[in-house]
Chains A and B, each alone.
Chain A
């Protein structure tokens, strides 16, 4: 691996982990959302490096473009960017951080012992994950899951509209019936 590649990957890792921690630590929810957008963009660059251009661009459009804008709209709509800072359970944070360290140690140990024989990722040609190949696979072998996902999206849209619809005034109707 040449030096420039090592610098590239180290930079991406630092930015990804740093923005993740920035999202975690920041008190203001708007700054958290913006840090998360940067994290999604960094992961999209990693997808490009892994030879998945279609997934990288849908990550940018769907996650950084649509989902995070929805988050920002709801934060500004509710005016809920800041909560008063206090610790409801004593020692909550220390226990949580200890458990997180244990969890990450487990994950890293598992990865190292499980993938000891694994070599570097092979180089991939541009034809492997081209939109054409992905489309052919998605509309032949994975057609049924695709349709199911379409139905899930439709039901989520209907559910979101129903949940946020203002409640109807039932009392006025009852009074009209009595008249």
Chain B
């Protein structure tokens, strides 16, 4: 399979993730879009790891997964804390810093 197939698929998935961050107002869905972008980047890492026959790309994917898991744990805890004070996770409601 040509290299460009995986690269274009990854580009489309990354763009859908960016669109989700811009368009959606539910903070949880924005987090899911972030995961989708991580996934697109991981796909490129694995693709180039097999293309150049170097294992380092796959090791890096492992680290990205671990850091993403940590990020999700802290992010969801923040969501729960925000929901306790604001009773909503609508992004537009979180405008306390607006001047």
| B34 to A: closest C-beta gap in Å | 11
B43-66 to A contact mask, C-beta < 8 Å, 1/0: 100110111010110110111011
> For chain B residues 64-86, which have a beta carbon within 8 Å of chain A?
65-74, 76-81, 83
**Are A70 and B72 in contact (CB-based, < 8 A)?**
yes
Tell me if B8 counts as interface (CB < 8 A to partner A).
yes
Q: Does any Cβ of A come within 8 Å of B2's Cβ?
A: yes
- Asked whether A121 lies within 8 Å of B1 as measured between CB atoms, the reply is yes
- The answer on a CB contact under 8 Å between B12 and A104 is yes
Contact A23/B20 with A33-B32, A70-B73 known, Cβ cut-off 8 Å: yes
Interface bits A112-124 vs B (CB < 8 Å: 1, else 0): 1001001111101
Assembled-state Cα–Cα distance A127/B39 (Å): 25
- The answer, among B14, B32, B49, B67, for a CB contact under 8 Å with A71, is B32
Contact pick for A62, options B24, B26, B69, CB 8 Å: B69
* Chain A 25-51 residues near chain B, CB threshold 8 A: 29, 32-33, 36, 39-40, 43, 46-47, 49-51
Interface of B is mostly: helix
Which of chain B's residues have a CB closer than 8 A to the CB of A124?
50, 53
- Interface, chain A (partner B; CB < 8 A): 1, 5, 9, 13, 16-17, 20-21, 23-24, 29, 32-33, 36, 39-40, 43, 46-47, 49-52, 54-55, 58-59, 62-63, 66-67, 70-71, 74-75, 77-78, 80, 83, 88, 92-93, 96-97, 99-100, 103-104, 107-108, 111-112, 115, 118-122, 124, 128-129, 133-134, 137-138, 142, 145-146, 149, 152-153, 155-157, 159-161, 163-164
Interface residues in chain B, defined as those with a beta carbon under 8 Å from any beta carbon in chain A: 1-9, 11-20, 22-26, 28-29, 31-33, 35-36, 39, 42-43, 46-47, 49-51, 53, 55-56, 58-59, 61-63, 65-74, 76-81, 83, 88-90, 92
